[in-house]
Amino acid sequence: MTEQSDGQPDTRLDARLVAALCRDGRADLRSVAESVDAVPTRVQKRLRALEEDGVVRGYTARVDCEELGYRTVVVRLRVGLPAVEAVTARLRETSAFVTVYETSGPFAVFAVGKFESEEAIAACLRELHADPVIDGIEASEVASVRREGDSPLPDG
């Protein structure tokens, strides 16, 4: 996080700045500054520091995959601990999987995929079932996306 004039981290302002960028990554500096109640030069310095620190790692469009006809599938994989890294790496390299987690519990891998068709879902699941290091699979197609990709940081 960036620092206040006394050298101490100003985590509240940083959190408000990140939340504002999550709401609208295309907003100009003045708009962001206004929304976080700071002057544009301060916001610019903070933003640069957040980028350099790796807190902000770029800007991207927020796409409604449902509107494009994609189907969302939640996949839970039962994988032995020695194979978790290899399985999560493979899922991360598969463009359909937009979120991949290593989790606790019997299903060590949790992933969210966006698929163009029922056939694409079936092909992916067949491939996962064929992998000898995957001991079990649970997959559920999402009936309706209620909230996705929002910032967990509060506005104020």
User: Which tens digits make up the pLDDT trace of 88-119?
Assistant: 999 999 999 999 999 999 999 999 999 999 99
| Buried-state track 15-25, b at ≥16 Cβ within 10 A, e below 16 | bbbbbbbbeee
Q: How far apart are CA 156 and CA 154, in angstroms?
A: 6
pLDDT top residue among 59 and 87: 87
In this predicted structure, what is the pLDDT of residue 150? 74
Residue 11 structural domain: 1-61
Q: What is the SS3 string spanning 35-95? A: HHCCCHHHHHHHHHHHHHCCCCCCCCCCCCCCCCCCEEEEEEEEECHHHHHHHHHHHHHCC
State yes or no: pLDDT of 46 exceeds 80.
yes
Residue 151 domain flag: no
Do 93 and 111 lie in one domain? The reply is yes
In this predicted structure, what is the pLDDT of residue 156? 55
DSSP three-state, residue 7: coil
State yes or no: pLDDT of 1 exceeds 50.
no
Do 53 and 85 lie in one domain? The reply is no
pLDDT grade for 66, boundaries at 50, 70 and 90: confident
Owner of token pair 């598969």: 94
Do 4 and 55 lie in one domain? The reply is yes
State yes or no: pLDDT of 127 exceeds 90.
yes
Residue 91 domain flag: yes
CATH number at residue 127: 3.30.70.920
Count of structural domains within the chain:
2
Q: Whats the size of the chain, residue-wise? A: 156
Domain stops at, among 30, 61, 92? 61
Residue 152 domain flag: no
Residue 130 domain flag: yes
Do 14 and 46 lie in one domain? The reply is yes
* Helix, strand, coil share of the chain (percent; to 5): 40, 20, 40
Do 39 and 10 lie in one domain? The reply is yes
Do 75 and 43 lie in one domain? The reply is no
Q: Tens of pLDDT along 16-34?
A: 898 888 888 889 999 999 9
Do 50 and 107 lie in one domain? The reply is no
State yes or no: pLDDT of 129 exceeds 80.
yes
CATH number at residue 39: 1.10.10.10
Strand bridging mode 109-115 / 134-141: unpaired
State yes or no: pLDDT of 6 exceeds 80.
no
